[in-house]
């Protein structure tokens, strides 16, 4: 599986990635529609995360990253976006991740795919 999209590096200090990645989502969903996008988190360090937003189908204009991902070994968790913090607490309690893919819907649902 390959995800192509617009990638940026975000600081994770003081958990500021939630606000800055959220603004990134807002910017691109205004152009492409929330339900057409998927976000990929990977490459965590002690102070940053790599994050790419791309289209679920097709290629987003201005794509600057192409990430090859494993085809197998993914776990899916579905829930409500307002419970995202709780969902991630549950996901991370076992160990860190190699990749996470986030998808959101206009009605407040979300799906997280992750690979360790």
pLDDT band for position 18 (cuts 50, 70, 90): confident
Average pLDDT over residues 19-44: 97
- 36-94 pLDDT per residue, tens: 999 999 999 999 999 999 999 999 999 999 999 999 999 999 999 999 989 999 999 98
Average pLDDT over residues 14-26: 93
DSSP string, 22-91: HHHHHHHHHHH-GGGEEEEEE---SSEEEEEEEESSS--TT--EEEE--SS--EEEEEEGGGHHHHHHHH
Q: Measured between alpha carbons, how far is 65 from 21 in angstroms, rounded to an integer?
A: 16
Give me the CATH topology for the region 2-115: Multidrug-efflux Transporter 1 Regulator Bmrr; Chain A (3.20.80)
């Amino acid at each position: 599986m390959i995800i192509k999209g617009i990638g940026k590096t975000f600081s994770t200090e003081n958990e500021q990635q939630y606000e800055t990645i959220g603004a990134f989502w807002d910017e691109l969903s205004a152009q492409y529609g929330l339900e057409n996008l998927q976000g990929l988190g990977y490459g965590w360090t002690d102070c940053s995360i790599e994050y790419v937003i791309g289209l679920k189908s097709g290629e987003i204009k201005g794509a600057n990253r192409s990430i090859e991902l494993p085809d197998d070994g993914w776990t899916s968790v579905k829930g409500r976006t307002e419970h995202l913090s709780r969902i991630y607490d549950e996901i991370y309690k076992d160990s860190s991740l190699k990749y996470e893919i986030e998808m959101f819907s206009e009605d407040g649902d979300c799906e997280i795919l992750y690979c360790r």
